[in-house]
Amino acid sequence: MASVIGDRIPSRAKLAARDARRKLNSRLFEVWLWSMGVLITLAILAVIVTIVIKGLPAMNWEFLSTGPKEGMKEGGIWPMLRGSILLMIGTLLIVLPVGVFGGVFLAEYAGTSRLVTLVRACVVALAGTPSVIYGLFGLAVFVLLITKHTSLIAGCLTLAMFALPVIVLTTESAIKAVPESFVEAGVSLGMSKWQVIRKVILPAALPGIVTGLVLSTGRAAGEAPPILFTAGIYYSTAKLTFDLEMFKKPVANLPYHLAEGYRQGSVIPEKIIWGTCLTLMLLVLLINLAAIIVRARARKRQVW
């Protein structure tokens, strides 16, 4: 029997030339992909380095620890930084139980019916919903409907809603990543479903859950639109008193400060704005770094 190609095969020389051309082509393609990867990485590094360089001159302990002076021409940004941290902690406290339980629900209790597929799709879609939409929702519900004015608690609730879908999804996937054998081991010991979840699944999935929590809270801390209409004031020089009233009052925070700064034009000197930008970026970056460390340590311990 003759071969499939038979005598159609090109001459050796032709084939060799063709091969060489293909190899060169492929090489060039790889170089192109490589250069795109390098280009993007360098561009990102350049942006970060620029922000750091521009922000460093303003950066010192006084800048971080005191309030603005001379109508923000001088002084620091402590009240805004403090506000951002408060918002972040509040958000985390609200979103932690709801997000984690929601993730457990999707992963363990919801099953695989069509309705649940739809719910999951909706959670995914919510995760991609613009933050300004959450801002509008927060304004309509937490501000106008419930508290009647902007406040720290309205801001925390809005940011919590913004962070919620991502946390539900990361929790769900962290739980799904726990090997079935762990669950079977738990079941064989006579545990109830909830006991299996609490004693076996949640501890195993904890690093993944914490990573998701921290990453999305960090992202929420840097996001301006949700707090524009719910929690922010331009700036503050006041000392903070820790009591219930604190939650009912609006709070100055870094993203709002920057956004309002642009709106009002050149009130704040450039140097201070860069310093504020750097502070906000570092705040988010440090939070993310914490998440990365948690993840890395968990990976080292991970035995399955």
Residues in 67-96 that interact with another protein by CB under 8 A: none
Return the number of the residue (152 or 220) whose C-beta is nearest another protein. 220
User: From residue 147 to residue 186, what is the string marking binding to another protein with x (rule CB under 8 A)?
Assistant: --------------x--xx--x------------------
Q: Which residue, 132, 153, 166, is CA-closest to 90?
A: 153
Q: Of the candidates 94, 119, 180, 208, which one interacts with another protein according to CB under 8 A?
A: 119
Binding mask 213-232 for another protein (x = CB under 8 A): -----xx-xxxxx--xx---
Contact between residue 129 and residue 166 where contact means Cβ atoms under 8 Å apart? no
Minimum CB distance to another protein smaller for 73 or for 193: 193
Name the residue nearer to another protein (CB basis): 119 or 246: 119
Binding-site string for another protein from residue 235 to residue 274, where x marks contact by CB under 8 A and - marks none:
-------------------xx--xx--xx------x--xx
DSSP per residue over 46-61, as a string? HHHHHHHHHHGGG-SH
Q: Tell me how far CA of residue 55 lies from CA of 48, 130, 230, 301, in angstroms.
A: 10, 28, 28, 38
- Cα–Cα distance for residue pair 99/211, rounded to 1 Å: 13
Find the binder of another protein among 52, 240, 267, 285 (CB under 8 A).
Answer: 285
Q: Regarding beta strands 251-252 and 232-233, do their DSSP bridges make them parallel or antiparallel, or are they unpaired? A: parallel
What DSSP element (H or E) covers 281?
helix 270-301
What's CA 241's distance to the chain center, in Å? 29
Show the site string, 40-59: x = touches another protein by CB under 8 A, - = not.
xx-xxx-xx-xx--x-----
Question: Which two three-digit tokens encode residue 202?
Answer: 């949640």
User: Binding to another protein by residue 26, rule CB under 8 A?
Assistant: yes
